[in-house]
A and B are shown apart, each in its own frame.
Chain A
Amino acid sequence: MIAIVDYRAGNLSSVARALGFLGHACEITDRAQAIARAERVILPGVGAAGATMENLRALGLDRVLLERVIGAGKPFLGICIGIQVLLDSSDENEADCLGVIRGRALRFPSTVDGRRLKVPQIGWNRVNLLREHPLFEGIPDATYFYFVNSYYPRLTDPDAALAVADYGLHFVAALARGTVMATQFHLEKSGAAGLRMLDNFCRL
């Protein structure tokens, strides 16, 4: 069973629908027990890092994720806001995050080289792989994925970076360390490439 963490925000059902389409059983849940017992855990969704962390803490799920999932070596996948909560902190609401990966979520600048940058980034962008990883199995370099984000991860732990994209600046679009993986782009909205990666995660 795959647990999709319900932290009372964002649209979680699209990830559940994609897993259903792929034939993987999943449950959207905020119950610590269910998350601790799951084989794999996905933290998806759009939203603000501050509100997400507050909700996770209020539900006691920050500890469950750190101790029973990530600490226990279970495959964990963060999507969009799910990549940012893995970092130490975020510019968004000056939030303290889970601190699993060294780094901070920064806001895209409003101008680059005197040209306006539209924030949030909304649309399909190329993702360039930095190294091989089972999560990207079968995905060619420079495949397009769907992004919706105003903030991007800046890692002080560059070894964790898995792929980068370019939106005014180069940023980390996917990361992985041990059994922890995360993408800034929406796997559940990225067509067949996103489905393939979700499927890869479920088979790890």
Chain B
Amino acid sequence: MLSKRIIPCLDVRAGRVTKGVAFANNVDVGDPVTMARYYYEQGADEIVFYDITASNERRGIMLEVVEKVAREIFIPFTVGGGLRTLQDLRAVLLAGAEKVSIDSGAVRNPGLISEGARAFGSQCVVLSMQVARREPGARLPSGYEVVIDGGRLPTGLDALEWARRGQELGAGELCVNSIDRDGTNLGYELELTRRIAEAASVPVIASGGAGAPEHLLAVFNQAGADAAIVASMVHYGRYGLPELKRFLRQNGVEVREPFWPQRSLS
């Protein structure tokens, strides 16, 4: 059967990783290419880069990063952050990303999901959503609201409804980030993840809150996530990916054992 995926996430601003300083000895850990290679060698199943560059002028820097990563990393990687047009998606994919992650751009223009899926295939369009917990009501039956622009702007969209719509429009995967849990290290929002995973017929990636191996175990076993994003818990060296995978395997979760061949490859 398909294994559960662990996906380190790197925030990149103007070509530099903004978090993540402590893990590798004496290497330039601000360099996204170095960090991506490190995680690749540690057995990451995929890598996600979020471009948090504020201005459009600097987008070219991110494309250079993508090109460099693509020449060295031979697992899938996703690029997100500020992608608004079909041209944006095309540029990132041509630079070598396997998938694009669209977020606020898709809320403002849902056609971006269908256009992207038609042009490049559903498998490379990840609909990412930032979700906040609210009081359930007529307008928000699930009690979960989609927020955009880095969590600042509420949209009034019900997260379950948006997940369903995004999938219909052609999103190949759904990445669900709880802004209530993001940065807390308290664990994933299991209820939110479970409800979306139960409703979805495409893979669901859980995001926001991972701080301990038990959190990954819970999001896979209790919430039914297909993949889980990890950030600070691995960036700051508190946990290593091999250690997380060992823990999950011991607890009955199928995770990929990376293979490194005997013969050296260039």
Q: Of B3, B98, B261, B266, which one neighbours A123 at CB under 8 angstroms?
A: B3
B122–A144 CB distance below 8 A? no
Q: Is A120 positioned at the interface, with any CB of B under 8 Å from its CB? A: yes
A17–B258 CB distance below 8 A? no
Give Cα A9 to B18, complex, Å: 35
A-B pairs, 9 with minimum CB distance: A144-B256, A124-B256, A193-B259, A196-B261, A148-B123, A123-B2, A124-B3, A143-B259, A23-B266
B265–A195 CB distance below 8 A? yes
A-B contact count (CB 8 A): 112
B201–A119 CB distance below 8 A? yes
Residue among A20, A119, A123 with max Cβ neighbours from chain B (10 Å): A123
Q: Is A160 positioned at the interface, with any CB of B under 8 Å from its CB? A: no
Q: Is A22 positioned at the interface, with any CB of B under 8 Å from its CB? A: yes
Q: Is A109 positioned at the interface, with any CB of B under 8 Å from its CB? A: no
Shortest CB-to-CB span from B4 to chain A, Å, is 8
Scan residues 1-21 of chain B and give those whose CB is less than 8 A from a CB of chain A.
Answer: 1-3, 5
Interface size class for chain A? 35 or more
Q: Is A139 positioned at the interface, with any CB of B under 8 Å from its CB? A: yes
Q: Is B40 positioned at the interface, with any CB of A under 8 Å from its CB? A: yes
Provided the pairs A14-B96, A18-B74, A46-B123 are in contact, do residues A125 and B2 lie with their beta carbons within 8 angstroms?
yes
Give Cα A12 to B101, complex, Å: 20
The residues of A with any CB-CB pair to B shorter than 8 Å are: 10-11, 13-14, 17-18, 20-23, 46-47, 110, 116, 118-126, 138-140, 143-144, 146-148, 166-167, 188-196, 199
Which B residues lie within 8 Å of A146 (CB)?
Answer: 75-76
Shortest CB-to-CB span from B26 to chain A, Å, is 25
Scan residues 106-155 of chain B and give those whose CB is less than 8 A from a CB of chain A.
Answer: 120-124
Which A residues lie within 8 Å of B263 (CB)?
Answer: 138, 196, 199
Shortest CB-to-CB span from A169 to chain B, Å, is 11
Shortest CB-to-CB span from A196 to chain B, Å, is 5
Give Cα A95 to B214, complex, Å: 47
Q: Is B102 positioned at the interface, with any CB of A under 8 Å from its CB? A: no
A118–B226 CB distance below 8 A? yes
Residue among B40, B74, B201 with max Cβ neighbours from chain A (10 Å): B74
Give Cα A110 to B201, complex, Å: 9
Q: Of B1, B94, B200, B261, which one neighbours A166 at CB under 8 angstroms?
A: B1
Shortest CB-to-CB span from B193 to chain A, Å, is 15
Residue among B76, B200, B201, B227 with max Cβ neighbours from chain A (10 Å): B76
| Closest B residue by C-beta to A148 | B123
Which A residues lie within 8 Å of B75 (CB)?
Answer: 146, 189-191
B74–A189 CB distance below 8 A? yes
A199–B265 CB distance below 8 A? yes
Give Cα A144 to B4, complex, Å: 12
B173–A122 CB distance below 8 A? yes
Name 25 interchain pairs, CB-CB below 8 A, sorted by A. Answer: A11-B120, A14-B70, A17-B71, A17-B96, A21-B266, A46-B121, A118-B200, A118-B226, A120-B122, A122-B172, A123-B45, A126-B3, A144-B3, A144-B256, A188-B74, A189-B75, A189-B76, A189-B98, A192-B258, A192-B259, A192-B261, A194-B74, A195-B74, A195-B265, A199-B263
Shortest CB-to-CB span from B234 to chain A, Å, is 18
Scan residues 60-102 of chain B and give those whose CB is less than 8 A from a CB of chain A.
Answer: 70-72, 74-76, 93-94, 96, 98
Which B residues lie within 8 Å of A118 (CB)?
Answer: 200-203, 226
Which B residues lie within 8 Å of A116 (CB)?
Answer: 201
B74–A167 CB distance below 8 A? no
Give Cα A193 to B262, complex, Å: 11
Give Cα A13 to B90, complex, Å: 13
Which A residues lie within 8 Å of B45 (CB)?
Answer: 123-124
Which B residues lie within 8 Å of A194 (CB)?
Answer: 74
A124–B5 CB distance below 8 A? yes
Q: Is B168 positioned at the interface, with any CB of A under 8 Å from its CB? A: no
| Closest A residue by C-beta to B4 | A123
Q: Is B191 positioned at the interface, with any CB of A under 8 Å from its CB? A: no
Q: B217-242 vs A: 1/0 string, CB under 8 Å?
A: 00000000011000000000000000
Q: Of B1, B2, B226, B261, which one neighbours A138 at CB under 8 angstroms?
A: B261
Which B residues lie within 8 Å of A126 (CB)?
Answer: 1, 3
Give Cα A85 to B22, complex, Å: 48
Give Cα A13 to B74, complex, Å: 12
